[in-house]
Amino acid sequence: MTDPSLPPAPDATVVGLVGIGHHDTPLVLRERFARPIEAFLPTLVALTGSGGPKEAVIVATCNRTELYYRRAQDADGDPRRWLLRASGFEEDDPAGAALYRHEGPEAVRHLVRVTSGLDSMLLGEGQIFAQVKEAYTAANRAGLVGPQLHRLFQHAFLHARTIRRTTGLGTHAVSLAGLAARLPRRIFPSYGELTAIVIGGGETGHLVARYLREEGVGRLLLASRSFPRAQELARRHGGHALPLTELGPHLVLADVLVSATDAGRILITAQDLRAARSHQRRRPLLLIDLSIPRTIEPEAADLPDIFLYGLERVAAMAEDNEARRKDAALAAEMAVEEAVAAFTLNHKRLLAAPLIQDLRREAEETRRRTLRKAEQLLAAGRDPHEVLGYLADTLTARLLHGPTVRLREAGEHHDRALLEAAARLFALDGDGTETEEP
């Protein structure tokens, strides 16, 4: 039976998430949820004020849309409807069946894995950390973050940083696009002054352009057989679009050129490169050909100061890096479990916090009253030893009065659970709880 004098249980709410991601969901369905974070916030603000989540953070990237929430433990309905409404759907939209849901430790585990890059399409991807942090900041500005989600996200950020730093998870790129974007590090001291040309309007070209931007490349040119597609990529990545027919005159500008197109023929010959560089001072040019068939003539590798990486060479590097990253992922998964255990332990400790605060407050008030009386006795000229005795006896009696009354009542009502709990609480031997019942 619950003691009505106790404060409400601190765990009367539950932290969880609902979402849709890249693992088992086709792109055509994920696209239905795709929108800027700001588009979700007005509906979430309205929901928190009308029986919806108590707190909310929406994470929206190209590979996932997830709603993290704190809800009342006895709340009616399915939190999936909150994400559906925030996404502009009816609550009974069939897309709700594709949403996954985690609560409690599973929600903590999921967020730490997402934030550290373990749950990314590209294992160990670093961009997701910044995206989750931006999502948290946007929700916080909208007044949607309270103490529990604040604690959850700060815990995830702290452990994600540690995981990536100590396991090497973010060190070795695995995808061909990721490797292509990082290869310039081998030749150039920094990305800020580089001009990069990316040929190809498909997924690989998009990823290469994205990763080059994340690395900080100074100038980005996008070329494609479909000029509108090149324009779209340029708009998304902050670059300049080129028709493929105008590529030649721009070769003179390039420090890095990545070709990821299915043109089916050689687009750049050694002669093209020799002509483009004939009037330049000598400087390195990195060529990366990810196309099948090849689109950069192999003889280009024989020209001075040109470094050509073909698909087979890049794929071999990816295979080697994948093995290294899998080793790092094993260590990272262990670190995730440590993070979940730490959060769960801290949460359990917080369950006792209100009672501990009340106990300390009452003990402090008792100490203050008793000390004030002792000071009055001293001021009246009473013997200090007598006053010390009064202080010790009265303080002990007042502090033990409440527990003693409750223990007597427990004995009268044969409440063994309370008696045994008191024995553990006060580190007693428990002999008094073993008396046989009449």
**Catalytic, out of 34, 39, 45, 62:** 62
- Count Cβ atoms below 10 Å from residue 421 Cβ, excluding itself: 13
CB within 8 Å of 194: residues ≥ 6 apart? 184, 188, 217, 218, 219, 255, 256
**What end-to-end distance do the CA atoms of the chain give, in Å?**
24
Residue that the structure tokens 């002509």 belong to = 275
Interatomic CA distance for residues 297 and 295, integer angstroms: 6
> What DSSP string describes 201-252?
-SHHHHHHHHHHHHHT-SEEEEEESSHHHHHHHHHHHT-EEEEGGGHHHHGG
62 is catalytic: yes
Interatomic CA distance for residues 307 and 26, integer angstroms: 38
- H-helix segments, 24-174: 27-33, 37-48, 80-86, 105-116, 127-141, 147-167
- The maximal CA–CA distance of the chain, rounded, in angstroms, is 110
Q: Which of 76, 75, 78, 101 is nearest to 12 (CA)?
A: 75
Interatomic CA distance for residues 218 and 192, integer angstroms: 4
Interatomic CA distance for residues 197 and 258, integer angstroms: 6
Active site residues: 62
